Amino acid sequence: MIGKMYYELVRLLHFAAIFTFAGALVIENMAIKPQITGEDARNLAKVDAVCGVSAIFVLLFGLTLWLWVGKPSEFYSSNPLFHAKLGLFTLMVLCAIAPTVFYNKHSKSEEEVIEVPKLLRLLLKFQLVLLVLIPVLALLMARGIGISS
């Protein structure tokens, strides 16, 4: 009984972290423009910090679900879709480095106009694409697709 409650609590926290991450990423994508101000950079740095902290919680709760509670770890470990999902999450985190560095670099700026590199805006949009693909893989995994019989 306690194990089941702990599993459900960790799942709930994992989902809450995912939704927080997704919301922050959507806000970043809506707020980023080809040109921003120093104030925009400071605000984007705050949203990006929420995104980063929530990604850490997604990872921690996900690892807890994988290794300690719920389904046996072999259910996930033996599934190539799970490995693809982890790979996409890792790619998403790597894509987040450049925006974070950019925001932090310019968050103390008093410049009236800060040019935002096109690559940075593309990385943010690419993260949204990955954000759509990861739950698809999770759904397929949960249905047992990818497990060799």
Residue 55 covered by a domain: yes
pLDDT score at 76: 83
What is the domain extent for residue 138?
A: 2-142
Pure H helices in the chain:
2-31, 38-67, 73-77, 80-106, 118-142
**Count of the separate structural domains present in the chain:** 1
Q: Is residue 51 part of a domain?
A: yes
Is 64 a member of any domain?
Answer: yes
Please indicate, yes or no, if residue 148 is contained in any of the structural domains. no
Residue with tokens 């985190």: 93
Q: What is the distance between the alpha carbons of residues 4 and 60, in angstroms, rounded to a whole number?
A: 18
At 40 the pLDDT is 94
Q: What is the pLDDT of residue 149?
A: 60
Residue 77 covered by a domain = yes
pLDDT at 71: 82
For the domain that residue 96 is a member of, what is the CATH number?
1.20.120
Residue 91 CA to residue 96 CA, distance in Å, equals 9
CA atoms of 111 and 71, how far apart (whole Å): 52
Does the residue 149 lie in any domain? no
C-beta separation of 95 from 29 below 8 A: no
User: Does some domain include residue 147?
Assistant: no
Provide block-wise average pLDDT over 10 residues at a time, the chain (149 residues).
86 97 98 95 96 97 91 85 95 96 90 94 97 93 78
pTM, entire model: 0.90
Q: What is the pLDDT of residue 1?
A: 65
Q: What is the DSSP-derived secondary structure letter of residue 114?
A: E
The per-residue b/e assignment along 101-121, b for 16 or more CB within 10 angstroms, e otherwise, is ebbeebbebeeeebebeeeee
